[in-house]
Structure formats: C-alpha cells, structure tokens
Structure 1
Amino acid sequence: MADKLQAQRYEHKYLITEDVALSVRDFVRSFLVIDEYGATQPNLSYPVHSLYLDSDDLRLYQSTINGDKNRFKLRLRFYENRPAAPIYFEIKKRTNNTISKQRGGVKREFVREILQGAFPAPHHIVSHDPRQLVAVQNFSKYILELGAKPKAHVAYLREAWISPHDNSVRVTMDRDVRCSPEPEARFVTDMIRPASVFEGKIVLELKFTNRFPDWFKQLVRVFGLAQCGAAKYVDGVTELGAAAVTYAFALPEKPVVPVNGKSSAVAPINGSGSPPVTAQAPNAAAAQDT
C-alpha cells in the first residue's frame, strides 16, 4: 500500500473538548471521509505511538520553546508490537509556516543498529522507494550530528478524515495524548506512568497543501476556534519536567497504561531482545501519514 504522505503542507492546530470534537466530526462528514484505518475501530480512532529523539541538552525541544522559525523533530513512529511490524523514521521540519516531512520504514530488526550509528542500507528498508532510504539516511546523519538518543514516548488515539479525491486536505483529532520518558527504545505500546498532555483536551489539526479551504474558514468560525501551538513532544516533556527525559535511568517494574487507558503489568523485553506482543493496531495503519 502506498504511503499517503503529505510531503509539504500547512497545518493549523486547536485544542477542543469532546463535545466540540463530536460536532466537528458531523461538520467534516460533508466534505471528507473517515480514513480506512479508523473506519472499523472504536470511536473511529486507531493508536499512534512515537518515540522522540533529542540531544542530551534537548536542543530540539529548546528550539520550539525558543520559537525558532526553522526547526525540526526526529521521531520513530510505530503502531503495534508485532516483531514484523516496521518502525517509521520521520523528520518533521518547520520552515516559517510550512511543514515538510521525510519518512522511511525500517525493518524492526535493524532499528537498534541504525540508532547505534550504522549507516542505513537498502536491505534495512521496507519499501523499494529510494526516497524512503534517503529519508532514513538523513535521519541517521542527524543522530550523529546531535548525538540524538531516545527521550520520550508519545501516544494518542487518532481520528483522521481525508479527501476522497486527493491528498490535499486532512483533518485529524487526537485524543488521550500521553507522554512518558523512554530512554531505551523498547518499541512497545505500553507506557510507564504516562503524563496526560493538554489537560485531556483533543488536538484538532487542519492540514492542507495549497490554500486554506473556504470550508475550513467556516468550520473555524462556526465553532469559535482559536489557533494554538500544540506540540505533543514539547508539551509532553514540559508536563513531565525536562529532567525526567534528560538523565538516563532504569525503567521500574511498575504498572503501565496503554494508550487505550486500561492498566496492565510491565511486559519485559525477552532474552532475544524482541518486544512482547500485546494488543495490535490494524496492520494497514503503518502506511498512514500523520
């Protein structure tokens, strides 16, 4: 399945309540369709997990705090625990008001060696698309330049609406946004003592590749929306406290909370280094752009 990546786009973000989110859902039905990954899921949403990398002095975090016009983030995105499920290396750049993304899927068995400094090769990559190899190689260069390491695990439930005609317009609503320190790159969906981000509010994002659609303007006006800078990694680390992700530590054997909010016990990595298998997201979600 082709990756539905909006390589360059604009995005406006808003924090809304659940009541408003349900009304927004009814509004966007007239223009967009629910994406295939959420269509069969509870509340039309599927889980998304991102492991963010940063330098030990949190340079990427600080670039957002400082309001730098040109900045980027490094994240490893995954959707489930299956050993065969790939990990997606993503570089998300902001240049003034424009967002650009590079993304490449890596076979899970090669992720650790790339994080440890191995230069990505074609056999590491899931797709034969050369752009994905270039994306992962660029990611690897940033790792070396920054000394970037795993810092934080961000998870949420995504409801995504897409245009039935092209990839120029997307609307997403992200619920139950959580963040926990993650220095080990475990790539499991369970989270240890996650902090709730945005005080339980839902992150609404209006994404478009050309001009701001007229019906987007109508949506903003009808619901009285106020644009904000909701950045999941930055707001998550701020909620945790920067010290929580700055220093390496051993993860305690404490209760964990998956993104669906149900408690479970910590599932340790087994002797082979492969993560345990727990609840799975739809396989097709791995191709979804966010």
Structure 2
Amino acid sequence: MAVDRMQQQRFELKYLITEEKALMVRDFVRSAGMELDEYSAIRPNFSYPVHSLYLDNDVLTTYWDTINGNKNRFKLRLRYYSTDPDTPVFFEIKRRVNNCILKQRGGVRQQAVESLLSGHLPEPQHLVSYSAKALVALQRFCELTHRLQAKPKVHISYLREAYVNDNDTVRVTMDRHVCGEPNLRFAIKTAMERPRYSYRPYVILELKFTNRFPNWFKELVRVFNVMQRGAAKYVSSIQAIGDPRLLEAHTTIVQEEEVNYD
C-alpha cells in the first residue's frame, strides 16, 4: 500500500452498530464531506482486508492491562495487508495515555520479520523505506518486545471501510467480520484455519480525530442514537479463542519442534 495514513496522535471513539445502521452511517458520513480512502474506493463493498499479529508474553500482560483499564498501556502488533514479499509489515506500538491514542511504527521488509522477532537488533536495511523516525519506532518496538518477553500470540483480521477528510485530521472506519486464531509462530499469513469471530453481527464504528471533536460527529451520535463503548479486537479475540486453545496451539508447536529435532 503506497500511502501510510497512520495518525501518530489522535482521539478515537468506538461504537457497535447493526449492519442496517452502518449503511445509513455510510450515507451520513458522505453527506458530511468525507471521502472513501484510496484503498476502500477500489474494493468490493468498499472494504479492504486488514491483518494484525499481536505479541504478548505468556501471562498476557497487555491483555490484562486492557481488561483492568490501566490508563497508560500499550499493545505490540505487526500490521500488514498482504503476504506479497514486496509489501511492508508495520511493527507498531499502540499506546493509550488517558484518552489519547499514540502510535509509532516502521515498515519492515517481510524477509526481516522472523529475525527481528527472534531478537536481532534493528538495522536501517530492515526497513522498506528508511527514515530516522521509522528506525526509532522499530528500535523502540524491539526494546519493548524484549523487556516484556513478548512473542506472537494471535492473528486477527477484518474488513475495513474507511473515510477521510481532505487534510487527514478526521477519519471514520467501519470494521466487519472481526476474527482471530492463535498464531504462535513468526509467520505472516492471511489464511486462517479455525477462526473465532468477535462482535458478530455488529459492525465496529470508529470516529477518529486529531484536533477538535467535529460538530457533525455529535450530530451523527444523536441521529443514530449510538453509545460509546470499548471494542478492543485483541481482547475480544483472546476471549473468543480462550486460553485453552492458545495452550493447545503452543503444545502442538512444541511437539512438532521436538519431532523435527529428533
């Protein structure tokens, strides 16, 4: 994907809505002057696939930080859109500081993913496109991964319909078909074998802004009578999968490695 639209600092409000209401929200957002982003515009049903591989330690520290509502928390994830080796994998730190979302990320070459997650120190050549900011983000990601002893845990995917304004200060997304399954390897994949779905049959509506809360957001909330709520995909996927399945997947990998070693 050619353009990185990530907002480094923003506020985001989440809502669960029905598919019927989502279609009406689509019309409302367009009437407010928002346009489909360049990826949604060329896709069937205006939605493109998003994949994330979340990292955590064996006691699921970042999961429990979210469950317990810790104000200053973070998640570690790899965000990607394709298994094409020429496309980047974004090593991303997503922090919540009070009500503000802060993000850092660097786009990494797919062939470098396993070595970086195995503990190799980040180098400029690991990046798809070098910048000091991207390298600092990658270094910070690897530092937090080492400190937390985090490893791949869950692969999550969904379809995203996204709208943006002219200067990228306001963004509206609707996410459908959120699903996840254990992935304890360093594999970048899109196919799932036994996905577990979250939030069905609802759509996750997110209203995102970097500066002032737009007045038409207030009108949208009023017109559609929606109530703000949490919708953390990593948390919901862990709950849908259940710890026993994660343990089962881990045990299977260990057994396979022992067989290969023998």
TM normalised by structure 1 equals 0.84
Question: Which residue does the alignment assign to 2:83?
Answer: 81
Question: Which residue does the alignment assign to 2:65?
Answer: 63
SS at match of 2:135: helix
CA distance in 1, matches of 2:246, 2:19: 30
Q: What is the aligned counterpart of 1:127 among 126, 129, 139?
A: 129
SS at match of 1:155: strand
* 1:260-275 pair list within 5 angstroms: none
CA distance in 2, matches of 1:51, 1:98: 23
Cα distance, 1:6 vs. partner? Answer: 0.7
Cα distance, 1:249 vs. partner? Answer: 3.5
Question: Which residue does the alignment assign to 1:237?
Answer: 238
Cα distance, 1:55 vs. partner? Answer: 0.6
Cα distance, 1:127 vs. partner? Answer: 1.4
Runs of 4+ in 1 over 3 A off after TM superposition: none
Q: Deviations over 1:210-229 (max 9, x none)?
A: 12110000000000001010
Q: Quick check: 2:113–2:186 contact (8 Å CA) kept in 1?
A: no
Provide the alpha-carbon RMSD of the alignment: 1.2
Cα distance, 1:112 vs. partner? Answer: 0.4
User: How many positions carry a matched residue from both structures?
Assistant: 250
| Overall identity of the aligned pairs, in % | 53
Letter in 1 for 2:239: T
Question: Which residue does the alignment assign to 1:287?
Answer: none
CA distance in 2, matches of 1:201, 1:185: 31
1:51 aligns with 2:64: no
Where does the alignment leave 5 or more consecutive residues of structure 1 unmatched?
252-290
Q: Quick check: 2:156–2:178 contact (8 Å CA) kept in 1?
A: yes
Letter in 1 for 2:172: V
1:187 aligns with 2:188: yes
Q: Quick check: 2:9–2:101 contact (8 Å CA) kept in 1?
A: yes
Q: Deviations over 1:30-66 (max 9, x none)?
A: 2200000110101000000000000110000000011
CA distance in 2, matches of 1:69, 1:94: 7
1:113 aligns with 2:125: no
TM normalised by structure 2 equals 0.93
Question: Which residue does the alignment assign to 1:227?
Answer: 228
Question: Which residue does the alignment assign to 1:169?
Answer: 170
User: Once structures 1 and 2 are overlaid, which stretch shifts more, 235-244 or 106-115?
Assistant: 235-244
Where does the alignment leave 5 or more consecutive residues of structure 2 unmatched?
254-262
User: Once structures 1 and 2 are overlaid, which stretch shifts more, 31-40 or 77-86?
Assistant: 77-86
CA distance in 1, matches of 2:108, 2:213: 34
Instruction: Label 1:46 to 1:2 Cα distance change in 2 as closer, same or farther (>3 A).
Output: closer
Question: Which residue does the alignment assign to 2:96?
Answer: 94
User: Once structures 1 and 2 are overlaid, which stretch shifts more, 67-76 or 127-136?
Assistant: 127-136
